[in-house]
Structure 1
Amino acid sequence: MKKDLLMWDETLFRDIEVFETDYIPEQFNFRDSQVRELAINARPGIMGARPLNSICRGLPGTGKTTTIKKLFAQIEEQTKKLIPVYINCQIDNTKFAIFSQIYKRLTKRPPPASGTSFKNLFDMVCKIIKDENLVLLVCLDDANYLLYEKEINKVLYTLLRSHEANEGVRIGIITVISDMTVDLMQEVDQRVSSVFRPSEIYFPPYGTDEIKEILSERVMQGMYPGVISSAMLDLVVEQTMKSGDLRVGIDLLKRSALNAEMDARKEVKKDDICRAYLISKYIHLSQTVKTLSADEKSLLKILCGLTKDKSDMTAGSVFEETKKSMKIGYTRYYEMIKKFDSMRLLNLNYREGKGRTRVITLRYDPDRITDILQ
C-alpha cells in the first residue's frame, strides 16, 4: 500500500461543517458596506424605537443571509431589548406560520397548535412585545416565496400596521429578495407601500478574487494542509464563477474532498473536482425542489416526462396532460407554472401564431430533475 493512502479511519477534514451552506464563518469579508447600512437601519431599535425597514437584493449565493445572521448575532450580544427574528420564507410562507415562528422566538416554546386562530396568535405576540417592552426586527429571507404564494401583502401589512391595533408594538422588517426579476415595491399594494418605505441594499455577485479568498479561508479552516493545491483551488474558483453562486464552490470543495477520501487519497485531483461539479452545479435546483408542495412536485414530474418525450410543451397541451393524473383547475395549474418560471425552474415564453401561445421549456436536464424529485 502506498504511503500517501488514507487509513480507513482517517479524514481530509478538520471540520466538515465549514462546508455546509448554512455555516456562518468567523471571518466574513467583502460585505462591510451592506453590514454597515443594515446596522444603521437597526440602530433605532436598540434605542427603543422602530427600526428602519430594508430590502436586501441580490442573486443567490451573494452573502445576503450570512450578512443578516452575523448582524443578528451582534445585536443579541449587545442588547436584550431588540429581538432579531429570522424567518426562512421557503419553509414558512404564510401569515400564521411566520407569526408562529415569532411566537416561538419570543417564548422559546413550540408554536401554538394549528387549530389556534390567527387573531389569538397575533394578540399573544403583541402582548409579549408590550409587556416586556421589546422591539422586533424581523428578517423575511427569500421573501419572493411569499410573493409566489400570494401572501406578501398579508404578511407585510400585519407586521407594519400591528402598532395600530396594539399601541406600543414596534416592528422593523428586513426583506431578502433573491429573484432579480422581482421589484417588491411594484408588487405590494398601496396600503403596504405607504408605511413600508424601505431602503434598498444591493449585494453584487462576488468577483473572481473575492471568491478565491473566501474559498481559500474555508479550505484553511476546514481541511488539513495539502488537501487542495493552489492549482486545484483555481479550478474550483473557475467552476464557481461559471455558476455565479458561491454556494456551488463551497459544496464543490466538500464533494471533491469526499471523492478523494473514497479513493483513499490525501489530496484532491482534477477528476475529483470534475465529478463533484456534476452534482454541485445543481445546488440551486435541489434546494428549490425541496420547497415545493406535493402537487407542484407532481406537475414538475409531468413536465420532465413531456420534455423527454419531446412533446410540444404549450401551456394548454401540458394542462390537458396534467388533468389525466391530477385533479386540478386551469387557474391553479397556471399559477404553479408561473411560480416555476419565477423560481427559474422553467422558461415561459410566447410563440406568435394564431393568438399568443405560451411555450414551456425546462431550464434543467429532465433526468436530473427527476433524480432530485425521487
Structure 2
Amino acid sequence: MLTADLDDILDDVFERVTSSRIFKNRDVLLPDYLPNKLPHREEQIRKVASVLAQALKGYKPNNLFIYGLTGTGKTAVVKLVVKKLSEKAVEKGVKLKITFINTKRDDTPYRVLARMLEDIGIRVPPTGVATAELYSRFKKFLDKKGTLMILVLDEIDYHVKKYGDDLLYKLTRINEELQRSKVSLVGITNDVNFTSWLDPRVKSSLGEEELVFPPYTAEQLRDILKDRAEMAFVEGVLGEGVIELCAALAARENGDARKALDLLRISGEIAERSGSSKVTVEHVRRAWEQMEKDRVVEIVKSLPLHSKLILYSILLLTKGGKTTYTGEVYRKYKELTAELGIETLTLRRVGDLISELDMLGLISTEVVSRGRRGLTRVISLESDPEAIRKGLLVDPTVAEVAG
C-alpha cells in the first residue's frame, strides 16, 4: 500500500510538470543562456567590439578592463562580441584564438594556465607541473602557432584577492617575450574598487581601455524580462503585474538582471508545481521570499569560522524574537570557543565582526544608553532564522557545538 501511495505521489508530480502549460523554453531564463540581442547594452557592445575589432586586421587589440556590479550584462556582452568576432575572423581567414576563463571556477593559477594551454591544443595533467613550467610551455607553444590570442578573464577580482596579481602581471608583460604571437587581455570584475588591489604596473598595462557598466533601471529590466518572457512562457500565462514586480524588486538589488530573470523563472516554477494555469504576483512574492532565504544561506556559508560562531551565539540568544546585547553575545561566544578548544577573539574584535554581520543584513544593531553603565548595542536577527541555521550547520565545526 505504501509503495502504491508513493507511486501515486510521483505520478502526480511528474504529470503536473510534464503537462504544464507554463513554460515553452525555460532555458532562456537561466544565467548561462546567451541571447542574440541585449537590450540597453548597445553602447557597451559597440565599445567592446570597437576595441577588439583590431584583431580582424591582424593587430593586437588594446587590453580592456570592464567594471560593473553583478547582473549588469558584462559577461553576456563580452561573450556575444567575441562569438561574432570569432565567426568574422574565420570568414576573413585571420588566425585568431579566443579563450574565455572564469577565474572563480578555474580558481587557481595552475587551472588558469592549464585552460590556456588546453585551448591551444596542449593537454595538461591535473597536478604535478610547476606553474612556472606551465607558463613557459604556454609561451613556447603559442609562439609556435603564430597566432593572435584574446584572453578573457572573468571575475578576475576573485583570483587576485585569493592569489595575488603575479599571474596577471606576467600576462600583461607576455608580449615582450613572444616573437610570432600576440596576447590581448580582457578583464571583467564585479568589484568597482578592484584596481586598488593591483600593482600600479599591472593596473596601467591592463587598463589601456576601460568600460563601466551601469546598473539597469526598473524600466530597462522590464524590457529585458518582456523580451525573454516571450521566448520562455506560453502566451497569456503571465498575470498582470508579474514582469513589473520582478523588475521593481530586482531594481532595488542594484539593478541586477540576473536576479530579475531568476525571479521570473522561479515564479513560473512555483506556479507550475502548484498546478496553476497562470503566473501571478503572489507567485513572484513567494519566489522572492525563497530567493532571499537562499541568499542568506549562501552568505552565512561563506563567513569565517569566528563570524559563524558569533552569529550562532546571536541565533541562540534571540529565539522567539528576543533581542540581546554585545556582552551577552561575547559570553556565549566564549563558551562555544572553549567547548571547541580554539582561540577566543577579543571583545573589540568580536564587536567589529558584529558590525560586519550588520552590514551584511544578517542582524540589526542599535546603540542605546544604559545610564551609568554606558552605551551598548541591542542586537536582533534581521534575516530568516531557519535560513541562518541552515547556512551555519553546513560547517562541521558549528554543527559540533550545535549538537
TM-score, length of structure 2 as denominator length? 0.73
Which of 140, 160, 166 is the matching residue for 2:172?
A: 160
Structure 1 residues 66, 318: CA separation in 2 closer, same or farther (over 3 Å shift)? farther
Aligned partner letter, 2:139: C
- Counterpart residue number, 2:309: 302
C-alpha distance in 1, partners of 2:157/2:380? 22
Which of 133, 140, 143 is the matching residue for 1:127?
A: 140
C-alpha distance in 1, partners of 2:171/2:224? 36
Which of 32, 35, 42 is the matching residue for 1:25?
A: 35
Structure 1 residues 222, 146: CA separation in 2 closer, same or farther (over 3 Å shift)? same
Which of 132, 157, 177 is the matching residue for 1:144?
A: 157
Secondary structure of the residue that 1:271 maps to in structure 2?
helix
- Counterpart residue number, 2:56: 46
Instruction: Tell me whether 278-287 or 7-16 shows the greater mean CA deviation.
Output: 278-287
C-alpha distance in 1, partners of 2:106/2:307? 21
- Counterpart residue number, 2:321: none
Task: Please say if residues 162 and 169 of structure 1, whose CA atoms lie closer than 8 Å, have aligned partners that are also in contact.
Answer: no
Verify: 1:213 aligned to 2:220, yes or no: no
User: Cα offset for 1:325?
Assistant: 4.4
Structure 1 residues 287, 33: CA separation in 2 closer, same or farther (over 3 Å shift)? farther
Report the structure, 1 or 2, having the larger helix content.
Answer: 2
Secondary structure of the residue that 1:171 maps to in structure 2?
strand
Structure 1 residues 118, 78: CA separation in 2 closer, same or farther (over 3 Å shift)? same
TM-score, length of structure 1 as denominator length? 0.78
Task: Please say if residues 89 and 141 of structure 1, whose CA atoms lie closer than 8 Å, have aligned partners that are also in contact.
Answer: yes
Structure 1 residues 125, 59: CA separation in 2 closer, same or farther (over 3 Å shift)? same
Which of 21, 42, 47 is the matching residue for 1:37?
A: 47
Which of 237, 242, 261 is the matching residue for 2:252?
A: 242
- Counterpart residue number, 2:188: 176
Task: Please say if residues 346 and 361 of structure 1, whose CA atoms lie closer than 8 Å, have aligned partners that are also in contact.
Answer: no
Q: Which structure is larger by alpha-carbon Rg, 1 or 2? A: 2
Give CA-to-partner distance per residue, 1:264-317, whole Å, 9 cap, x none: 111012321111111224666667778x5xxx6655643431331457779x99
- Counterpart residue number, 2:75: 65
Give the superposed CA RMSD: 3.8
What stretches of structure 1 of length at least 5 have no aligned partner? 1-5, 352-359
- Counterpart residue number, 1:368: 387
Task: Please say if residues 64 and 176 of structure 1, whose CA atoms lie closer than 8 Å, have aligned partners that are also in contact.
Answer: yes
Which of 108, 124, 128 is the matching residue for 1:94?
A: 108
What is the aligned-residue identity percentage? 23
C-alpha distance in 2, partners of 1:329/1:161? 45
Structure 1 residues 190, 22: CA separation in 2 closer, same or farther (over 3 Å shift)? same
Secondary structure of the residue that 1:79 maps to in structure 2?
helix
Task: Please say if residues 248 and 283 of structure 1, whose CA atoms lie closer than 8 Å, have aligned partners that are also in contact.
Answer: no
Task: Please say if residues 58 and 179 of structure 1, whose CA atoms lie closer than 8 Å, have aligned partners that are also in contact.
Answer: yes
Structure 1 residues 195, 263: CA separation in 2 closer, same or farther (over 3 Å shift)? closer
Structure 1 residues 286, 202: CA separation in 2 closer, same or farther (over 3 Å shift)? farther
